[in-house]
Amino acid sequence: MLTGTLEIARSSQLVAVCGTTRVQIPVDADGRFAARLAPGVYQLMMQASDGKLTLIRKTVEIDNNMTVTVVDTDMVPMPQVVAVSVPLVYSTSAVIEWETSIESDGYLDYGVNELYGYSSYAITDLKTRHRVQLYSLQPATTYHFRVVASRYNLDQTRSWSRDFSFTTEP
C-alpha cells in the first residue's frame, strides 16, 4: 500500500512506474492519496493537468503486506519533447531538431527499425531547442528515431519521445 499527503499535488494525480507498468493514483483536494500496488520498485511522479510529469521519488520500494507513506518531496522536473522535425535529409546524413518543455540535454536513439541500435552524441547544454546531425547513414534507407531528453543526463529525469522516421535520399 502506498499512502501520503502531497499538498502540491492537490486535485491532480500521481503516476507510479515500475518497469513498463504505470499506475495512476488520484489525489484528493487535500493532497491525500492511497493505492494498492504490486510488490516492486517504483518511480513516483506527479502528473499535471497538461500531462507533464514531475519526478517526486526516484525509488519507492513496495513489499508484500507493507505500507509506504510519502511525507515529503524532492521534485525534479522532467522535460517533455513537444516538437520534432527533420528539416534536412541527404543521402548519407540528416539533421534532426527538437524542442522540449523545459531546458534539457539529450540525444537520439536511431536505427533502421524501432529497436534503434545506435545513439547520437549527447547534447550536454541545457536548452529548449536542440539540433543533431546524423552521419554515415545508408542512401535510400528508412531510419527510425526517438528523442531522449533529460536534465543533467540523470536517469530519473529521462523521458522519451514517440517513434519518428525519415528516409535518406538515393
- The yes-or-no verdict on residue 135 having pLDDT over 80 is yes
C-alpha 143 chain-centroid distance: 21
C-beta separation of 60 from 109 below 8 A: no
Residue (of 122, 83, 121, 119) closest to 106 by Cα position: 122
Q: Where are the domains of the chain?
A: 2-77, 81-167
Domain 2-77 architecture:
Sandwich (2.60)
pLDDT, average across residues 94-104: 94
Q: What is the mean pLDDT of residues 134-140?
A: 97
Of the pLDDT bands very low, low, confident and very high (cuts 50, 70, 90), residue 96 is: very high
Largest CA distance in the chain: 61
Q: Quick one: pLDDT at residue 155?
A: 72
Domains 2-77 and 81-167 share a fold: yes
For residue 60, the cross-strand partners are 42
- Determine the 3-state secondary structure of 157 from DSSP: helix
Q: pTM above the 0.85 mark? A: no
Q: According to the model, what pLDDT value does residue 24 have? A: 92
Binned at pLDDT 50, 70 and 90, residue 4 comes out as confident
pLDDT reported for residue 76: 65
Residue 71 has pLDDT above 70, yes or no: no
Lowest mean pLDDT among 80-84, 157-161, 163-167: 157-161
Render pLDDT for 13-47 as a digit per residue (tens, 0 to 9).
Answer: 899 988 888 899 999 888 888 988 988 888 888 88
Question: Class for domain 81-167, per CATH?
Answer: mainly beta
